[in-house]
Structure formats: C-alpha cells, structure tokens
Amino acid sequence: MDEVLRQTAASTLLFDVPGTAVLSHDLTLVEAEGTLRRVVYDRDGVVEDVEVPLDHACMGCAVREDIVPTVARLARTNRWQHLVLSLPVAAEPLPVVTGLATAVVDRERVADQVRLQSIVAAVDRRSLEDDLFGDDLLVERGLALSDNDRRGVGETLAHQIEFADHVVLAGTATERATTLLRHLAHNGVRLENVHEVDGSTLLEPAPANRRISAAADPHRIEPTGAEDAHGVWTLDLQSWRPLHPERLRQRIQDLGSGAHRSRGRFWLPTRPSTTCCWDGAGGQLSIGSVGPWQGNQPSTRLVVTGIDDPERVRTAFDDVLLTDAELAKGLQGWQGRDDGFDPWLGEANAAA
C-alpha cells in the first residue's frame, strides 16, 4: 500500500541481481478514463518512459493491453536475464499471473518466453494492522484502479500477502506484526527486511502458480498453522451443515466485520449445488457464487484471523448453522424459498 516501499523492493532486485531491468506501471484515473504510465529502467538508467491511454480504466485492460505485451516484447530483446514487474500499488497478482500464463502475443505464448520466478509482497509493519483491519477503501486513499473500484485496503493487502512467495518488510519489527503475517502468509514464506535482504534470494524458484491456485480457490482454503500469540488468533470453522439464510443475514456483521480477515466457502439449503465464496477483511465482506461443487460434497469452511474477540466469531458461526431439528425436516422444504441472497449469489432457481 506504499509506492516508496514498492520501488525500494524493486530497486533491491535491480542492484543485487546483474542483468535485471524493472518494468514499472502506474495507473492514473481521470474520471472514467485511464492512463497507464510505463517506465522501464536498469542500472544504466531509464530505457522507456511513456504514457499509454487505455480503452477502459481498469487493471484488466492494463494487463491485456500493455503489461503482458510489454513483458513479451522485452523478453524477445534478450537484453536482460530478469524482469522485475513492479505493479501498481493496489494491484493483485492473480490477473497478471493468469495473463502471463495464458496470453498469446504475435502468435507466440508468453509463457514460452518468460518463466514466473516468484511473487514478492512489500509490507509496512507500522501500518499493517490499520491497513488490514481498518475500513478504508482504496478510492479514499487515491489507490483505486478503476472508476468503479470499491475494494477495501484490507482485502487488497490480504490478497497480496496470501499470494506472495516472499514478503519484504519495512518499519520496526514487532512480535505482533510478525505473528500476524505468519498467520496470513503461506508456510515457508520468508519475512525479511527490505533494506537487508539479498535481492538474489527473492528470485529463488517458488511454486507461485500452485500457491496462487490454493489461495484463490475456496475449496482449498486452510489455515497456515501458525500458533496463536501476541493477541493474534486464527479460527478454522468447519461444518458439513449449511448456513441458515435468515440467521446468516442477522449475524453476518459478527462474522464478516471487525478486526479480522476471513476467507473460505459456505453453502445454503436454498441452493445446495452452489459453492458460495467468502472473502472479508476489516470493514468489508464479499460473497459470491463460484459455480457447482464439482463432485465435492457441500461443506462450509471459514478461516478467520484476527486481533479482536474470537468468541464473537465462533458463537456467530455456531448460531447460523442449521440445527439437528431443522436438518431432520430435509432440504426439500427450502426449494423455491427466497433466501435474500439473490443480489450477491444470483437467483436460487437458476443456481439449482
């Protein structure tokens, strides 16, 4: 969430690893129109500095229209061994990784020209808790990537940390901040000071695609296994039972808001064939449908990491599960009922 820290991390790689260039992008919004500034530089100085108008002001257009084609073009020059792709501060890795893996430029697959080595997240420990658990929106900090980008700062930062292969840190180290990162980052991810890390270690091969798949797939969500300490806790809330729609609406604030990060999947008796995803941080919660269960039995699993009261979350979760008496009546009685979640999950009849 900090442009200076992003550039510091990129420069660490540039000066520690010979044969490296930095490809930096920043997206500027003017009303509904967007301009992408592309800067390419290496140890000898700036190679390119251009502004690219976008058809639509969004990160998806930036990836498709400039970021991936520029990576392919620079790779074909064979001028450098390594490219550091320095994304806009509020960008998330998944669309870019997908673009690099699937795009075809000039009839050649980009994945045949470049290999994704690792994903690095740069985090300021001083603002970590406020960024993760506050209710700021990106637009309120001037970081939005489109005119309709309503993402929260916490949601965006959580995705960057959870998808990363390496996390570099600025600010004074505290046991609480380190513990919080251990609860969110993947097992084996190293936490290193941005001013002390050897940039070459950030290029060590990492199974980035597999990790991103796990982080982005609600069927594969699981806790990191970090121990609760220094006021940081993680709850692994699991059940084969569906959630009661009405009670979920009543308790959704206890489950989805507060000083915690929550992610996972759930199901409702009104739409038993639909996998519903859950993604929340700080003051925001996103839910949606991600398709059928694909051979898996419906199940609910929410992994919640926080610094406030875990019992409020645990109690709310237990309360929204269908009871034995409700289950004994079967799911047939739920068919055709309005569960109140159509605006977020689509029409229940269409899902069935």
Residue 62 has what pLDDT? 86
Classify residue 40: in a domain, yes or no. Answer: yes
- If asked whether residues 126 and 211 sit together in one domain, one would say yes
Region of poorest pLDDT, from 38-47, 106-115, 124-133: 106-115
- The strand pairing partners of 52, in sequence order, are 36
pLDDT over threshold 70, residue 33: no
Residue 146 has what pLDDT? 83
> How far apart are alpha carbons 163 and 207 in whole angstroms?
11
Give percent of the chain with pLDDT exceeding 70. Answer: 94
- If asked whether residues 192 and 270 sit together in one domain, one would say no
**Which of 161, 184, 216 is where one domain is finished?**
216
Residue 64 near residue 22 (C-beta atoms within 8 A): no
- If asked whether residues 178 and 58 sit together in one domain, one would say yes
Q: Mean of the per-residue pLDDT values for the chain?
A: 90
**Which of 186, 216, 246 is where one domain is finished?**
216
Residue 211 has what pLDDT? 57
Classify residue 226: in a domain, yes or no. Answer: no
pLDDT over threshold 70, residue 207: no
- If asked whether residues 174 and 247 sit together in one domain, one would say no
- If asked whether residues 208 and 309 sit together in one domain, one would say no
Place of tokens 């019992």: 311
Region of poorest pLDDT, from 36-40, 206-210, 226-230: 206-210
Residue 349 has what pLDDT? 67
Region of poorest pLDDT, from 218-227, 241-250, 317-326: 218-227
**If pLDDT is split at 50, 70 and 90, which confidence band does 269 have?**
very high
How buried is residue 265: exposed, middle or buried, by Cβ count under 10 Å (0-12/13-18/19+)?
A: buried
pLDDT over threshold 60, residue 142: yes
- Containing domain of residue 248, as a range? 233-351
Give the number of domains in the chain.
2
Place of tokens 């530089």: 41
Classify residue 224: in a domain, yes or no. Answer: no
- For residue 266, CA distances in Å to 88, 191, 223, 235, 245 come to 32, 32, 16, 15, 11
Classify residue 225: in a domain, yes or no. Answer: no
* Mean pLDDT on 194-204: 89
Closest Cα to residue 96, out of 122, 76, 116, 123? 116
111-121 pLDDT, tens digit per residue, is 999 988 889 99
- If asked whether residues 164 and 263 sit together in one domain, one would say no
Place of tokens 């009661």: 244
pLDDT over threshold 90, residue 351: no
**Which of 216, 245, 265 is where one domain is finished?**
216
Residue 33 near residue 217 (C-beta atoms within 8 A): no
**If pLDDT is split at 50, 70 and 90, which confidence band does 210 have?**
low
Region of poorest pLDDT, from 51-60, 278-287, 321-330, 335-344: 51-60
Classify residue 221: in a domain, yes or no. Answer: no
- If asked whether residues 272 and 209 sit together in one domain, one would say no
Classify residue 145: in a domain, yes or no. Answer: yes
Residue 352 has what pLDDT? 47
Region of poorest pLDDT, from 89-98, 136-145, 207-216: 207-216
81-112 pLDDT, tens digit per residue, is 999 999 999 998 888 988 998 989 888 899 99
- If asked whether residues 252 and 194 sit together in one domain, one would say no
- If asked whether residues 327 and 196 sit together in one domain, one would say no
**If pLDDT is split at 50, 70 and 90, which confidence band does 336 have?**
confident
pLDDT over threshold 80, residue 75: yes
The token pair that represents 2 in the structure block:
């900090």
- If asked whether residues 79 and 154 sit together in one domain, one would say yes
Classify residue 119: in a domain, yes or no. Answer: yes
**If pLDDT is split at 50, 70 and 90, which confidence band does 276 have?**
very high
Classify residue 71: in a domain, yes or no. Answer: yes
Place of tokens 């500095």: 49
Residue 56 has what pLDDT? 72
CATH code: domain of residue 273? 3.30.1220.10
- If asked whether residues 14 and 132 sit together in one domain, one would say yes
pLDDT over threshold 80, residue 32: no
- If asked whether residues 144 and 7 sit together in one domain, one would say yes
